[in-house]
């Protein structure tokens, strides 16, 4: 049974732990349980592949989602090229394909509550040993001024943390500039019973929000650069047929690194390959591979990682015979 360690207890780390559950991997998470990445995720997260729930051991609710685009004060069931490009420029600072191209009625799954086991919370990984299979972390305790330093040996390490942080731990310099934008998430309870799942995309720059979602009793406003004003919340809510929400109690959050901007793709691939070859680190999830991904993309990526692990294990066995 391979000794697998996972860094990061967000959704990617949780799915990796479930995928390799037969190896009982340990997850190392820098925050405490209340501040874990799963608890911090307040934006909309819908799943396309129900296997995610099976891997996590979580219940999933199948829902019909209706998606439209707001443009020039009108709602559209289909987006044209202008709408798509404006939306991409608004959230990505470039023109690329996005979810606004897939409007209309779609089937999605919502993750219900689930638990992650074998997590070492408060464990901040600090350094990897080159050409070995070992990393060091500091385990924080109360009071916060004290810390315990620990070494961990592994056969394979799956990293889900931002790649630029990992590069610091392995002391690799790169000329690439990793940049991103935080997103602002505003959530309110709608003042009328609701059981629907609807999303309106907002490509125009005159609005802070780029996406507004009615998810059951909650309305979720996702915006760039700042939280939406009371007036914007009221106007966008009116397109759902919901009025007088500006004075309702709001919960506002900042989703760190909500939108990441691409780097040179050849350099990105070279970094990922170097981490695997030199340190036995396998990158998983959008922060680790620094690429825009959906949660559903984790499964085929984990299939590839598993195959790479099998090849690596076989190669080491052959090498031991000839040494």
Is residue 91 within a helix (H) or strand (E), and if so which, with residue range?
A: helix 81-92
> Residue 242 corresponds to which tokens in the numbers above?
């919901």
125 vs 141, more confident: 125
The confidence band for 37, taking pLDDT boundaries of 50, 70 and 90, is low
Q: Tabulate helix, strand, coil % of the chain (nearest 5).
A: 30, 30, 35
The model's pLDDT over 149-186, given as tens digits with 9 standing for 90+, comes to 689 999 999 999 999 999 999 988 888 999 999 999 99
What pLDDT, on a 0 to 100 scale, did the predictor assign at position 145? Answer: 45
Checking if the pLDDT of 143 tops 50, the result is no
The model's pLDDT over 67-91, given as tens digits with 9 standing for 90+, comes to 999 999 999 999 999 999 999 999 8
- Each residue of 185-213: b (16+ CB within 10 Å) or e? bbbbebeeebeebbbbbbbeeebbbbbbb
Going by the DSSP 8-state scheme, the letter that residue 244 receives in this structure is: -
The confidence band for 249, taking pLDDT boundaries of 50, 70 and 90, is confident
What is the percent of the chain with per-residue pLDDT over 70, rounded to a whole number? 92
Q: What is the mean pLDDT of residues 38-62?
A: 84
Q: How far apart are CA 91 and CA 12, in angstroms?
A: 22
What pLDDT, on a 0 to 100 scale, did the predictor assign at position 141? Answer: 57
The confidence band for 109, taking pLDDT boundaries of 50, 70 and 90, is very high
141 vs 97, more confident: 97
Which pTM does this prediction carry? 0.88
SS3 246: coil
The model's pLDDT over 301-313, given as tens digits with 9 standing for 90+, comes to 999 999 999 998 7
Residue length, the chain? 323
> Residue 69 corresponds to which tokens in the numbers above?
């685009």
120 vs 319, more confident: 120
CA contacts within 13 A on the Cβ side of 115 = 2
| Dihedral of the alpha carbons of 197, 202, 207, 208, in degrees to the nearest 10 | 60
Q: What is the mean pLDDT of residues 6-10?
A: 95
Q: How far apart are CA 312 and CA 209, in angstroms?
A: 46
What pLDDT, on a 0 to 100 scale, did the predictor assign at position 321? Answer: 64
What pLDDT, on a 0 to 100 scale, did the predictor assign at position 319? Answer: 66
Checking if the pLDDT of 233 tops 60, the result is yes
Checking if the pLDDT of 191 tops 90, the result is no
> Residue 98 corresponds to which tokens in the numbers above?
């996005």
The model's pLDDT over 250-259, given as tens digits with 9 standing for 90+, comes to 999 999 898 8
Domains along the sequence of the chain with CATH: 4-43+113-178+263-322 (3.50.50.60), 63-111+180-260 (no CATH)
Q: What is the mean pLDDT of residues 132-139?
A: 90
Q: What is the mean pLDDT of residues 2-10?
A: 94
The model's pLDDT over 252-300, given as tens digits with 9 standing for 90+, comes to 999 989 889 889 999 999 999 999 999 999 999 999 999 999 999 999 9
SS3 288: helix
Neighbour-count burial of 182, counting CB atoms closer than 10 A to its CB (0-12 exposed, 13-18 middle, 19+ buried) = middle
- Are 164 and 266 contacting, i.e. CB atoms less than 8 angstroms apart? no
Name which of 36-40, 85-89, 106-110, 177-181 the model is least confident about.
Answer: 36-40
Q: What is the mean pLDDT of the chain?
A: 89
**Which residues face 70 on adjacent strands?**
75
């Amino acid at each position: 049974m391979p000794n697998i360690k996972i860094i990061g207890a967000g959704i990617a780390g949780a799915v990796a732990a479930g995928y390799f559950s037969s190896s009982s991997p340990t997850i190392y998470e820098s925050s405490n349980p209340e501040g874990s990445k799963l608890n911090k995720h307040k934006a909309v997260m819908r799943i396309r592949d129900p296997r995610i729930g099976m891997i996590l051991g979580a219940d999933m609710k199948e829902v019909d989602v209706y998606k439209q685009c707001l443009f020039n004060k009108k709602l559209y069931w289909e987006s044209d090229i202008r709408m798509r490009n404006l939306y991409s420029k608004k959230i990505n600072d470039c023109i690329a394909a996005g979810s606004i191209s897939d409007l209309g009625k779609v089937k999605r799954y919502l993750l219900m509550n689930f638990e992650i086991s074998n997590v070492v919370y408060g464990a901040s990984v600090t350094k990897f040993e080159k050409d070995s299979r070992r990393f060091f972390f500091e385990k924080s305790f109360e009071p916060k001024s004290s810390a315990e330093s620990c070494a961990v040996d592994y056969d394979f390490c799956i990293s889900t943390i931002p790649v630029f942080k990992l590069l610091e731990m392995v002391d690799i310099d790169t000329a690439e500039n990793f940049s991103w934008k935080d997103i602002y998430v505003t959530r309110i309870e709608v003042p009328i019973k609701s059981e629907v799942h609807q999303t309106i995309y907002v490509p125009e720059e005159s609005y802070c929000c780029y996406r507004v979602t009615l998810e059951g009793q909650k309305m979720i406003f996702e915006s760039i650069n700042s939280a939406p004003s009371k007036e914007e919340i009221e106007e966008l809510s009116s397109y759902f047929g919901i009025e007088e929400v500006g004075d309702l109690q709001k919960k506002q959050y900042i989703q760190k690194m909500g939108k990441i901007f691409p780097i040179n793709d050849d350099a990105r691939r070279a970094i990922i390959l170097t981490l695997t070859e030199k340190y036995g680190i396998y990158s998983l999830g959008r922060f680790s591979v620094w690429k825009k991904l959906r949660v559903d993309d984790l499964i085929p990526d984990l299939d590839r990682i598993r195959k790479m692990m099998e090849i690596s294990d076989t190669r080491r066995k052959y090498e031991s015979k000839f040494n």
